[in-house]
Structure 1
């Protein structure tokens, strides 16, 4: 794979994930504008993220079959149009429809990037690089949205910023290839659908659901605790900056590290610091907590990719690991929305802690099973 193709796929993948870093602030702005209720924040996030998951799953295969450049450019321009339409939405139903469509189109873009990454020589390292690169443009937007853009120009300004990002993806479509190779099929005796692989996938979905729930509601949690826009903006920007460092550090370290210990420690870190973010009303503690739980989750993705490649050497399951993460990101806010009310959103945060803790238990079981299987195969 040519370096320019890898670079272009990273840029397009970063654009497709651009809403993730600012989605809590964007949906909070729509809530303040009267277009979403507190529960509607989680529901809108779920629609967008499930659309992203569907698009990423389908896109990984559809984009790879041919005419990838043309498909990517057309999809990106469609995403521009949807975000502009959302900027002029006047009803909750229109917001739901626009965010679902935006998620689907962004998912197709992500599918194009993912199709190239999983066929590279270092998919685990490139996954970490993509996670970090996707966060870089989010850092500035996460501060500008609550501090300048939305207070000054309204929530529509944030949607126009996302449209501009999609336009950049359309321009980078030319760097891609039109078609990529077909991944080899698993043998009948292979472990593509083994119990261990499915258990691993379930744990990954739950971990991502915990992150998605926490990230979606954390801005409203901070507001409920009385933290101001400047603290919230600083917290999100600092968190996103730390995610870049964590992602790139894990991308560098993961090839030489033991996979299971690193993965389990990072999941535990995510659970613990989500809990701290929900509990504290101290600005410094809140900023530290959001930085650490989000960074742990971002660093985790390189370990998740590396471990699934070890569990399924055909890499066919690896194509699905990032869509599973996105599916979990979308499922979590929906579950958390049932634990929130118009006056109290802390229940959504505790739902995030519970989902992350459940994923940790499943990962421990999965690690034990895979270790026993590997020992038996060498006996």
Structure 2
């Protein structure tokens, strides 16, 4: 599976580009722990945590689309240097802000800087040969990196840094890639021959609804994992370890998906992962007393399906549009979904009450099923004719 602008990047160029994405998405994996710390320090409120999480993720998703239009493809190394340095500075500056609005503004700025780095990863993945497989590899490596950083924060003796340890470690991670930026590719094509984003048809919109709804469901639970885990009896260092466990289960799910994305039927895989999220949400909602082990098992299942289904989003997009125009919009759709979920969930939070959060996540997962039905059964038209109908390319 290749796009019309597939380029022969070297292994070191691909690895370095994926490293940029690992830095760009690092905060998304650490959000429950780091935002939970800001809540404990009364820097943000429980009602505001969804807005703060949403702001960063939304700006990241929209920023990737804007970067494809505005940033110079011939100077991606300079973009990487500036992005890494400024992102490290913004992560440190976050420690000095107070209030939901100020923190949200700071994290929106961080999201735009993260977008400049994730844009580099996106263009290399989409313009590589076998982009769906490379996406699966990236997701696995990125999440493994998040898990290792989270374990370091949770288990290493960082008490001398105080409550600021998480953001200080995050800033350090942003600086580390500067040593390998010279290995980024010099040539990634031009805007004139690039695969420009396009929905192609109404079916293209339905395809993007799948990752949008999927990640809205997962993002809802992820952003509120800290208060949900506290209600389930998982507190203190155990809560930080739970975050690392979820990240490690993402690695397992992503590894399985990287091997299975070409072999397994796509629609059953996506439907099954959506069904798991529905079950997780409904089960957590049923907890009336603390059940730490059951909650941990449900979170592990959530972590597995999280990354398992992402490469199938890329494959679905390429099935509809082999030129890769829809595929280029899948990462932004996933990110926007990750922000939409917490935003919708924040509207249901009253004080410390987060009981409705799992139900909202389950509802978003049901929307995945609806979106897949629209993709599968809507009458084909335009460039989509023959895809999904007759030949039944979507399986």
User: TM-score, with normalisation over the residues of structure 1?
Assistant: 0.92
Instruction: Please tell me whether the aligned partners of residues 246 and 300 of structure 2 are also in contact (alpha carbons under 8 angstroms).
Output: yes
Deviation at 1:70, TM superposition (A): 0.7
1:232 matches 2:245: no
- Mapping of residues 211-226 of structure 1, within 5 Å: 211-226=218-233
Instruction: Give the secondary structure class of the aligned counterpart of 2:254.
Output: helix
Instruction: Give the secondary structure class of the aligned counterpart of 2:238.
Output: helix
Cα distance in 2 for residues equivalent to 1:370 and 1:289: 38
Corresponding residue to 1:248 among 255, 263, 277: 255
1:141 matches 2:154: no
- Mapping of residues 58-207 of structure 1, within 5 Å: 58-63=66-71, 65-145=73-153, 153-182=161-190, 192-207=199-214
Instruction: Please tell me whether the aligned partners of residues 5 and 177 of structure 1 are also in contact (alpha carbons under 8 angstroms).
Output: yes
1:358 matches 2:367: yes
Deviation at 1:154, TM superposition (A): 3.5
1:49 matches 2:57: yes
Corresponding residue to 1:299 among 292, 308, 315: 308
RMSD: 2.4
1:374–1:94 CA distance, 2 compared to 1 (3 A): closer
Corresponding residue to 2:298 among 285, 289, 305: 289
Q: Which moved more, 1:95-104 or 1:139-148?
A: 139-148
Deviation at 1:369, TM superposition (A): 3.4
Instruction: Give the secondary structure class of the aligned counterpart of 1:302.
Output: helix
Instruction: Give the secondary structure class of the aligned counterpart of 1:340.
Output: coil
- Which sections of structure 1, spanning at least 5 residues, go unmatched? none
Instruction: Give the secondary structure class of the aligned counterpart of 1:256.
Output: coil
Instruction: Give the secondary structure class of the aligned counterpart of 1:38.
Output: coil
Q: Which moved more, 1:362-371 or 1:164-173?
A: 362-371
Cα distance in 2 for residues equivalent to 1:157 and 1:308: 40
1:267 matches 2:280: no
Deviation at 1:151, TM superposition (A): 6.8
Aligned to 1:257: 264
Number of aligned residue pairs: give it: 376
1:150–1:50 CA distance, 2 compared to 1 (3 A): farther
Q: Which moved more, 1:172-181 or 1:310-319?
A: 172-181
Aligned to 1:341: 350
Cα distance in 1 for residues equivalent to 2:90 and 2:390: 52
Aligned to 1:320: 329
Deviation at 1:148, TM superposition (A): 6.1
User: TM-score, with normalisation over the residues of structure 2?
Assistant: 0.88
Deviation at 1:93, TM superposition (A): 3.3
- Which sections of structure 2, spanning at least 5 residues, go unmatched? 1-8
1:363–1:154 CA distance, 2 compared to 1 (3 A): farther
Deviation at 1:186, TM superposition (A): 8.3
Aligned to 1:38: 46
